Amino acid sequence: MTPSPPQGLDVLSDPGLNKSTGFTLEEREHYGLRGLLPATVCSQDVQIDRVLQNLRRKHADIERYIFLLALLGRNERLFYRALIDHIEELMPLVYTPTVGQACKEYAHIFRQPRGFYVTPQDRGHVRRMLDNWPEDDVRVVVVTDGERILGLGDLGANGMGIPVGKLSLYTACAGIHPEHCLPVTLDVGTNNDELLSDPLYLGVRDRRLGGKGYLELVDEFVMAIQDKYPDALIQFEDFLTPNAYRLLNLYRDQALCFNDDIQGTAAVALAGVYASTRVSGLDFADLRIMFLGAGSAATGIADLMVHAFVETGLSEQEARERLWFVDIHGLVVKERNELFEHNLPYAHDHPGASFADAIRSIEPHVLIGATGHPGTFTQEVVELMAMLNERPTLFALSNPTSKAECTAEQAYEWSEGRAIFASGSPFGSVTLGAQTFRPGQGNNAYVFPGIGLGVVAARATQVTEPMFLAAARTLADLVDEDDLSAGAVYPPLTEIRDVSLDIAVAVAEVAHAAGLTKADRPADLRDSIRASMYDPRY
């Protein structure tokens, strides 16, 4: 027996159906809404104007975040239409940098359950629990264990803000339908004493599960997803570096998955470096690149750059010799004996050195910060880079804004306006003399939504390094001369849907060419992918 369509308050309570004052008179009659709404029928444009007026009336970004999440819980299509049409204003509220504060305060600002939680007490039951999720056609899963949220550390179950935020960008930036998205937190406890003593904290009140028990729970989750949603892409997000690499290496050939901190960050950073060479005039194959920070983000960028250098004709060893790391103990060199496994390929035969001394001896063209520690690109460091390079490239990628290695203003001022600068979180325009710079934001939102869209459209069976290289090349090619002359090595965020479509096509082409798809290649791949993209207009 076909169930009756929802009526009345059930319609207004369903965020996927609700249009609030946007229901026409005919729809109000059809859905039993007469008398339940004010008389005026508002266009979606008018509703967005009301949203923006209310949003801008608030005095703090965390209040704006709460307001937008409440809107998502009431009227999904209105939320996404507002986010798409006002992406430059709203993305920093929905995701970085505001999501960092939202995660720190998640238990205190909790209003409405969102996402799926798995705890150690759920072992043996995860597959059955997935049947509680209301959607049967999940295609993208973003999962975190909350141990390394942005640059903020262990936030436990509060980390749910990350998968919720990432998936909102999958929808807004790449048109993945909200019903196809599943945010997940593996709540395995926390070692954050402040959270454990907080009476409002909502997560498991135990120290973090580790070792064999942790890996068994992750494995049960991955297997359950594959069983329930066999075509779903799993994106690992904000895991501590050793676990991030362990899980990626364990599952990259067994499941349709990738790690955005390692591989997504790599693609967006590589794209920025590709674009920077059009300003510096240097050949990519000749670059020397130094990383401050040696965690998953930095080494992920380097790993992809090895592939990019090899494509230019260098050997793998020659490629690695172009890439240098500095961590909290100084330059990463062979004589050090406390390095993690993922650092070893980049430990060169060279005397140990401090950060500044390493810059002096190695003379890098590009400096990439992924430390989570603010102010580490000091005036001395920026001036050194400017002394060594006519156009020094400085990427301060740590999130949120409070963790950036330097500000845009500092990079331009200390380099006398010669720096090619990008950051992980947004900075406003900077005027220095007669020049106004519009610094580019090296945000993973430029790549992961498009990669996900391409993988989903092709029904890919694996996510491979050539897909990330294709994404990076595509993104770099979309940076035009106007962007570069304004100081930006990324296209404007206002073009993000088109950017995601181009990246999706490139990724799908790689998947089809490699025979890694369950779907036949359509005659017009671009039109097919474009037609699949969610449009929230009503």
Alpha-carbon gap, residue 453 to 530, rounded angstroms: 10
Give pLDDT tens digits for 286-326.
999 999 999 989 999 999 999 999 999 999 999 999 999 99
Alpha-carbon gap, residue 265 to 509, rounded angstroms: 21
pLDDT of 437 higher than 90: yes
In which band, very low, low, confident or very high, does the pLDDT at 1 lie, cut at 50, 70 and 90? Answer: low
Tell me what pLDDT residue 484 has.
96
Query: Using DSSP, how many helices (H) and how many strands (E) does the chain show?
Result: 23, 14
pLDDT of 2 higher than 80: no
Burial of residue 388 (CB within 10 Å: 0-12, 13-18, 19+) is middle
Alpha-carbon gap, residue 60 to 98, rounded angstroms: 10
Kindly compute the dihedral angle of the four CA atoms of residues 306, 311, 483, 366, in this order, to the nearest 10 degrees.
Answer: 30
Segments making up each domain of the chain, as ranges: 1-42, 98-255, 263-445, 447-481+496-521
Alpha-carbon gap, residue 387 to 356, rounded angstroms: 13
Alpha-carbon gap, residue 128 to 132, rounded angstroms: 8
Are 144 and 186 spatial neighbours (Cβ–Cβ below 8 Å)?
Answer: yes
The token duo for 9 is: 């308050």
> Average pLDDT for residues 262-289, to the nearest whole number?
97
Q: What is the set of active-site residues?
A: 95, 166
As assigned by CATH, the class of the 263-445 domain is alpha beta
The DSSP-derived string for 297-310 is: HHHHHHHHHHHHHH
Cis amide leading into 97 (omega within 30): yes
CATH topology identical between 98-255 and 263-445: yes
Kindly compute the dihedral angle of the four CA atoms of residues 215, 216, 218, 224, in this order, to the nearest 10 degrees.
Answer: 160
Alpha-carbon gap, residue 362 to 467, rounded angstroms: 31
Q: Please count the CA atoms within 13 angstroms of the CA of 235 that sit on its side-chain side.
A: 32
Q: What percentage of the chain reaches a pLDDT higher than 70?
A: 100
Tell me what pLDDT residue 396 has.
97
CATH superfamily of the 98-255 domain? Malic enzyme, N-terminal domain (3.40.50.10380)
Helix (H) or strand (E) holding 522: none
Helix (H, G, I), strand (E, B) or coil at 19: coil
Average pLDDT, the chain: 96
pLDDT of 400 higher than 90: no
The DSSP-derived string for 62-113 is: HHHHHHHHHHHHH-HHHHHHHHHHTHHHHHHHHSTTHHHHHHHTTTTS--S-
Burial of residue 284 (CB within 10 Å: 0-12, 13-18, 19+) is middle
Q: How far is CA 383 from CA 353, 356, 360, 372, 405, in A?
A: 18, 10, 11, 21, 14
- Taking each helix axis from N to C terminus, what angle separates 465-477 and 296-311, rounded to the nearest 10 degrees? 80
Fold of the domain spanning 1-42: Hemocyanin, N-terminal domain (1.20.1370)
Alpha-carbon gap, residue 511 to 288, rounded angstroms: 31
